[in-house]
Amino acid sequence: MSASSSSRSSNSGWSRKENKRFERALALYDDGTEDRWQKVADFIGGGTSPTEAKRHYERLLDDVQSIESGDVPMPNYRSSDN
């Protein structure tokens, strides 16, 4: 396992570049794609495994569900005139 994938699995922190590639891969390979997670992982590169790609997607779905259900409080942004 590469250093990037081992650190990713320990703290689930993906780089901005990896997340962008992940987003592009999801757009290319939808639910009906054969070997979807292998293709997504290959597109991301950097030693990402299909299991890591799928796990990242599942965490994303959990986050969206939490936001949509109101479980995540809205941030208190400062107004631009302060």
Which H or E run includes 66? Answer: helix 50-68
Question: Percentage helix, strand, coil, to 5, in the chain?
Answer: 60, 0, 40
pLDDT tens column, 5-57: 444 543 458 999 999 999 999 999 999 999 999 999 999 999 999 999 999 99
Q: Classify residue 8 by its DSSP letter.
A: H
Per CATH, is 3-64 categorized as 1.10.10.60? yes
What residue has token string 């990242």? 56
The pTM assigned to this predicted structure is 0.72
Single out the residue of 54, 40, 43, 39 nearest to residue 9, CA to CA: 54
- For the chain, domain boundaries: 3-64
